[in-house]
Amino acid sequence: MIGAMGFSCGVSAFGGRWQYRYVALVIQVSYIDFPDGFFYIRHIDYFRTEPMNDAQSYIDKNPLTGAEWSEGRAIRIPLCLGRDMYNTSKLQAAFFWVVICLCRDETDNCQPKVEGLKGLLCRITENERYEVHVSFEEEVASWSAVEYSILVPYGIKSFSVHCAGQVRKITREERDEMIWSYRARVCNAAGDVRRYAEWFKRHHEENLLRETIEEGPLMSIVTPAYMTPPEYLQELLESVIAQTYRNWELVLVNASPTDEGMKKVINDTDDSRIVVLEVEHNLGIAGNTNIGIAKCTGDYVSFLDHDDLLEPNALAEMVIAMERSETPVDLLYCDEDSFEENGTYHLPLFKPDLNVDLLYSCNYVIHLLTVSRFVLDRIERSGSEMDGSQDYDLTLKALEVARGVVHIPRILYHWRVHSFSTNSNPEAKPYTIQSSLEALAGHFSRLGVRIRAEKDEEPFAYKVRFLFSNDGDTQRRFSEQDNKDFDNLVIEPGVWGASLDGSLRFICDIGRQAWKNMFQFTSELILVSSVCVSVQRDDWHDMLGLFSRADVFGVSPRVVRNDGLVDYAGILVTPEGRLLRQNRFLPAVDSGYIGRAKKSCDSFVLNPELCIFRTLSLQDLDVDDRFQTQEYLIADVCAQQWEKGRLAVFSPLAEAILQQPRSMLRMSGLGEASDDADLFLEKWSRVMPEGMDPSYNRNLDPRSAYYRLKQTS
């Protein structure tokens, strides 16, 4: 759930000239350990962990002292960011410390003068220069500010920074507090064990009080069981019998009928709604599941693993969702979590509504997969080659014929953690990787879409690359490019006409008029870039490949800074209408919450600084002249496409490297544009219920860039 973090180089730049500068800190060297190892997280209230949005905000909240005002110099260290904080080597784990050097006279040298002790070298990077307004008593003046980042090994317990005649000492206590604050800020819902335990207790109590339903369709549940520990089977049966919705049947396929422990539990359970099918020869999970499906008589069939549990209102929520839907519902799923033998519930999996590109990256639907008889009558059953991925195969097949898909954003399913479960041990069923790849291959073969799928580095995740029908010709044209630098294509700010053969046809200045002119382009694709990035040929090809699908209108690649931190890995529209970059400033090797920083997904809004659109898809859209900024012009177009069912894809398989310095103090990375934000919310309230981004989950904090658990009173 938490990706490994890596260590890479930092750079310093100003005026377009890049250079490396090694400096040493004024330090006292001492190495310390976490009390319980590197993954120990201390609780810090969230209200203390919000980062500053920029230098001005920080100075406003931390005004200058009289001495600083008189001297015309000041130094601030507002925050730190992890670079490799989980590295098991104390000598390699490191944090970036953000330093702001302020001077009244902009001609003065604000560069830090950092002196070293004991030969320790640390790299310093100049990120950005600002003009800030500072005040003291009644007087206000404009000062120059330069933001630096200093890479400091984790084991250094205190240090001092000298800048513009000022000295700022970070004590051990301050250092620890700022590091804990950083960890609390980026701690996602899966890592926040204590808060989730409290959240789930309230959630479970609410479930017991939620409305139920007396009448509705017969809900069938299929559970294939083989050598199930009796206590697991007993708990499963109790959780089904406890359902508040009463019109159900459980088809239990017992593939180990001679198991005395299972036999006793079954014989001791007296409920006519439970149908037990004894299978003399174990046919594998796919075969046993098919036997159960054939026996079911319900209008809908749910799939429950033999060692897992349901919340008491699980079936009721499913039926209520069907009743409230304006269209027929053929596939349903819910949020879920995991539980330990000691009764601890943790690792919540808060899912988005139907998100096909995320589904192609991993089977995020998993439980409680429920499909209609309409679907089952129109698809083939999974064969034994799908053992371990029969649910993934069924989900993909169901999407091909389903009239409607419903996600219930409530924790209704509990996945048991034990040594033989893939939940705790991905190696427990290694064959599931290959069967999942087979399921993906079969799905796209039926759709007539060419792909190349392979295992990802993350457990049970996959890289799906889309290929053109003339892919051989496309590859040849890539290799025959006249531009010898195409292997590392540098894209300058501007609007480009692009072709599916990989060429860039022309460029014009970025701006509102250029954005309007894009609607008149004759090229196949339009690439918008307001930053300078480099893109490798294979990454460029991965982006273009997505346009081989008719349902894709736009794509944004992942953007990584030269210092090894993430700049863009998705955007979240907050309830205030701000465009918040998700996973921003995580180390590039960190996959974030359940791998979302490294998994493709469909987004409500693309990265306005770097995106590619299909030209034809823009021709039936409107340019809303009321928006004053490029980011909201693009966000508005994305929202129009979302409403039409066209997909905007965040594709981390394609990665662009940012070739310019950039502040570490702006979480959004974009202008606030409050008027545009208000207009966007007003215009798109119909697809943003209660101000929530429709690609997000309502149980997560809508103002967190890191999928933090939403707190309720």
Tell which of 186, 207, 236 closes a domain.
186
Is 90 exceeded by the pLDDT of residue 553?
A: yes
Work out how many domains the chain is built from and give that number. Answer: 3
User: Is 396 in the same domain as 342?
Assistant: yes
Q: Are residue 258 and residue 165 in the same domain, yes or no? A: no
Give the pLDDT score at 231.
95
What is the spatial distance between Cα 336 and Cα 367, in angstroms, rounded to a whole number? Answer: 7
pLDDT digits (tens, 9 = 90+) for 153-174: 887 888 888 887 788 888 999 9
**What's the full length of the chain, in residues?**
713
Q: What percent of the chain has pLDDT over 70?
A: 82
Do 122 and 141 fall into the same domain?
Answer: yes
Together in a domain, 284 and 412? yes
Structural domain includes residue 704 = no
Q: What is the pLDDT of residue 163?
A: 80
Most confident segment among 361-375, 420-434, 451-465, 532-546: 361-375
Residue 499's pLDDT band (cuts 50, 70, 90): confident
One DSSP character per residue, 100-160 reads EEEESSTTS---B----STT--EEEEEEEEEEEEEEETTEEEEEEEEEEEEEEETT--EEE
Say if residue 120 is preceded by a cis peptide, omega within 30 of 0.
Answer: no
Do 360 and 225 belong to one domain? yes
- Arithmetic mean of pLDDT, 370-375: 98
| Co-location of 101 and 177 in the same domain | yes
* Within-domain flag for 462: no
Q: What percent of the chain has pLDDT over 90?
A: 56
Is residue 309 in a domain? Answer: yes
Confirm whether 470 is domain-assigned.
Answer: no
Phi, psi of 687 (to 5 degrees): -110, 5
Do 405 and 516 fall within a single domain?
A: no
Band the pLDDT of 92: cuts 50, 70, 90. Answer: low
Q: Which residues pair with 143 in a beta bridge?
A: 132
pLDDT of residue 90: 46
The DSSP bridge partners found for residue 95 are 82, 152
Q: Which two tokens stand for residue 537?
A: 């040929």
Residue 571 lies in a domain: yes
Question: How many other CB atoms are there within 10 angstroms of residue 663's CB atom?
Answer: 18
Q: What's the pLDDT at 112?
A: 65
Q: Which residues contact 537 (CB under 8 A, 6 or more apart)?
A: 478, 486, 487, 488, 489, 502
- 222, 248 in Cβ contact below 8 A? no
H or E element in which residue 273 lies: none
Q: Do 540 and 400 fall within a single domain?
A: no
Say what the pTM is: 0.89
Domain extent for 629 = 476-691
Q: What's the confidence (pLDDT) of residue 107?
A: 55
Q: Is the pLDDT of residue 230 over 90?
A: yes
Shared-domain flag, residues 415 and 480: no
Query: Which residue has better confidence, 600 or 629?
Result: 600
* pLDDT tens digit sequence for 376-410: 999 999 999 999 999 999 999 999 999 999 999 99
Same domain, 337 and 410: yes
Q: Other C-beta atoms within 10 Å of 248: how many?
A: 21
- What pLDDT score was predicted for residue 595? 93
Least confident range of 360-364, 365-369, 499-503: 499-503
Domain assignment of residue 459, yes or no? no
User: What's the pLDDT at 343?
Assistant: 83
Give the C-alpha separation, 75 to 62, whole Å.
Answer: 11
Both structure tokens of 550: 């008719």
Q: What is the longest distance spanned by two Cα atoms in the chain?
A: 89
Are 113 and 162 contained in the same domain? Answer: yes
Q: Is residue 119 scored above 70 in pLDDT?
A: no
Mean pLDDT, range 59-71, rounded to an integer: 89
Task: Tell whether the model's pLDDT for residue 9 goes beyond 90.
Answer: no
Residues 522, 398: one domain? no
93 occurs within a structural domain: yes
Is there a domain that residue 49 lies in? yes
